[in-house]
């Protein structure tokens, strides 16, 4: 199970959990701030390995350069959090193995 917390620089955050069973986009959202500025974010699973998953996080903020808004991270299995900072947005990810009974 992949647990994601995405916190914007204005303090708003989204918390999500996803079963990891295939590659592809797992979350996509569009935000419009109170000041009229907008942005969007997406998280894509690029690769699933025995020891973790590779993610691409894309954050598009109005008036931001596209190359500054994309980050690739590797999230290993285990209890530790993986933290990535991207244009004032913080992504915290944790990947847990599904314990089959």
How does pLDDT run across 4-34, given as a tens digit for each residue? Answer: 998 888 888 888 888 888 899 887 776 655 5
CA-wise closest residue to 39 among 70, 64, 69, 62: 62
pTM (2 d.p.): 0.76
The pLDDT value recorded for residue 100 is: 63
Higher per-residue pLDDT: 38 or 74: 74
pLDDT one-digit tens code per residue, 76-100: 999 999 998 887 788 899 999 877 6
3-state SS, one letter per residue, for the chain:
CEEEEEECCCCCEEEEEECCCCCEEEEEEEEECCCCCEEEEEEEEEEEECCEEEEEEEEEECCCCHHHHEEEEEEEECCCCEEEEECCEEEEEEECCCCCC
- Cα 40 to chain centroid, rounded: 12
């Amino acid at each position: 199970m992949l647990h994601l917390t995405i916190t914007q620089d204005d303090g708003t955050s989204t918390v999500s959990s996803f079963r990891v069973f295939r590659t592809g986009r797992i979350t996509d959202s569009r935000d419009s701030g109170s000041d009229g500025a907008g942005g969007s974010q997406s998280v894509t699973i690029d690769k699933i390995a025995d020891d973790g998953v590779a993610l691409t996080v894309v954050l598009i903020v109005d008036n931001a350069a596209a190359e500054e808004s994309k980050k690739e991270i590797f999230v290993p299995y285990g209890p530790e959090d993986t933290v990535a900072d991207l244009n004032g947005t913080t992504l915290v990810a944790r990947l847990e193995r599904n314990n089959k009974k």
